[in-house]
Amino acid sequence: MRRIILAHHKSTRGAALRRSGQLICLVIVAQTIMFRAVIRLADQNPIVVFSWFMGGLAVSMPFVVPPVRKALGYRTNQVSKSAFD
């Protein structure tokens, strides 16, 4: 019984590698299609792409600004009113 399981495991290993290679190809193709769609959208509707950019910037601000403020020596605690927290 153990030999059968090991033989089955060895035979499916190649298939899994082929599937992972196909998945990588699919991801590359999807990224290319998405990149071309964004470029086309930017050419046809620049206001939409600019609003996406501004929205992404707004979402990233809470993750970027506090470490920068802490590195510059400013306070990051907005609850307290003292200057040095």
For 21-51, how does the pLDDT look when each residue is reduced to its tens digit (9 = 90+)? 778 888 888 888 888 988 898 899 999 889 9
User: In the prediction, which pLDDT does 10 show?
Assistant: 54
Tell me how far apart the alpha carbons of residues 38 and 44 are, in angstroms, rounded to a whole number: 10
pLDDT of residue 24: 83
Would the pLDDT of 81 be above 80? Answer: no
11-28: b (≥16 Cβ within 10 Å) or e:
eeeeeeeeeeeeeeeeee
- Given a cut of 80, whether residue 16 has pLDDT beyond it is no
Q: Which domain holds residue 55?
A: 2-62
Establish if 39 belongs to a structural domain.
yes
Q: What's the total number of domains in the chain?
A: 1
Let me know if residue 77 belongs to a domain: no
In a domain, 9, yes or no: yes
pLDDT of residue 77: 76
CA gap 12, 2 in Å, rounded:
15
pTM summary value: 0.49
Taking the C-alpha atoms of residue 69 and residue 76, their distance in angstroms, rounded to an integer, is: 7
- Distance of alpha carbon 77 from alpha carbon 48, whole angstroms: 34
Does residue 79 belong to any structural domain of this protein?
no
